[in-house]
Amino acid sequence: MKGTTIYFFLASVAASVSAFSEIAPNAPPASNGAQYMPGAVAPLGFWDPLGFASNADVNTLKRYREAEIVHGRVAMLVTVGTLAGESLHSGPVISHLSITPKPLWVLLLFSVSFIELIRAQIGWVEPELVPPDQPGMLRANYVPGNLGFDPLNFAPRDPLEFKVMQTKELQNGRLAMIAAVGIMAQEVVDHKGILEHLFG
């Protein structure tokens, strides 16, 4: 089991190199402009085997991208948090939930609610202004994932460089989602922490 875990860990690290690949130059045409969105990298380019993008209008496509970015960011936090949590407290991180103090849960609930409220105000059209057949409409000028929060000025001003940075974030988020699911599945199966598998 240990050898399998290490193999998948190394494969995940190797896959993360694709976050620094060039943006795929040739993407198939789509009527909604999906092929021009960040996230398409060589060698796969614009990869949509189940046809989600080809069957979506522009607003739905933007909501898909918003969901992917947010889930990727959460997964990156989960992956780093899992490693940090297991280095401070032994055992699988999924067992740490039961020992978390209740005040911390309340603080977490209010923090997440506040962030989601801000995100909704920035990105979404007010419900009373949305046509009934287009629920969850995003603002026309809203770039999925861009809440204007950049205290360290990481975001480039050049549009092409900004697109490259968005692609890197998407690729790292995709890898983190796979890593988080893999870590949790491994911990559920044998009740050991991921660090215990790697170094124990």
- pLDDT for 162-184, tens place per residue? 999 999 999 999 999 999 999 99
The amino acid at residue 32 is N
Q: Residue 139: which residues within 8 A CB-CB, separation 6 or more?
A: 122, 123, 124, 125
Instruction: Work out the mean pLDDT of the chain and round it to a whole number.
Output: 82
Integer Cα distance of 53 and 195 in angstroms: 38
The total of other beta-carbon atoms located within 10 Å of residue 89's CB is: 12
Quickly state the pLDDT bin for 2 (edges 50, 70, 90).
low
Q: What does the block give as tokens for 146?
A: 């861009």
27, HSE (Cβ side, Cα atoms, 13 Å): 23
Task: Tell the burial category of 62 from Cβ atoms under 10 Å away from its Cβ (0-12, 13-18, 19+).
Answer: buried
Integer Cα distance of 76 and 56 in angstroms: 27
Q: What is the pLDDT of residue 10?
A: 47
Q: What is the pLDDT of residue 31?
A: 59
- Yes or no: domain 58-199 corresponds to CATH 1.10.3460.10: yes
Q: What is the pLDDT of residue 3?
A: 52
- Give the CA distances from residue 108 to residues 100, 101, 103, 136, 169, in Å, rounded to whole numbers and listed in that order: 11, 11, 9, 25, 24
Q: Which residues pair with 138 in a beta bridge?
A: 124
29 pLDDT exceeds 70? no
pTM score: 0.79
Q: What does the block give as tokens for 145?
A: 């994932």
